[in-house]
Amino acid sequence: MLCERCGKEVYKNEVCNYCKKKLCFNCVKSSRRVTKTNRIVICKDCWGKITKRKQFKSEGRVEVKQEEGPSYRRY
């Protein structure tokens, strides 16, 4: 199969989460694991677009739930 961005032949491709193009390793700008099973990939084209880049960064940020513990001390 061929990379949809540069046309290079690839064995294993990655798919950009924003433009849905199949990419070779060189065309992937960054990838990030969001959850244990979910991974998002951004290509170099989309990285150049500020809105998509921001989206990528915010999606990658995992929200940490603060556990409600016995943090209030009573006297």
HEC sequence for 7-75: CCECCCCEECCCCCCEECHHHEEEEEECCCCCEEEEEHHHHCCHHHHHHHHHHHCCCCCCCCCCCCCCC
- For Zn ion, how many residues bind (rule: CB under 5 A)? 12
Task: Report in angstroms how near the CB of residue 4 gets to Zn ion at its nearest.
Answer: 8
Interface pattern 52-71 for Zn ion (x via CB under 5 A): --------------------
Instruction: Using alpha carbons, select from 2, 5, 7, 11 the residue that is nearest to residue 42.
Output: 5
Binding mask 10-49 for Zn ion (x = CB under 5 A): ------x-xx----x--x---------------x-xx---
User: Could you list the residues that contact Zn ion (CB under 5 A)?
Assistant: 3, 5-6, 8, 16, 18-19, 24, 27, 43, 45-46
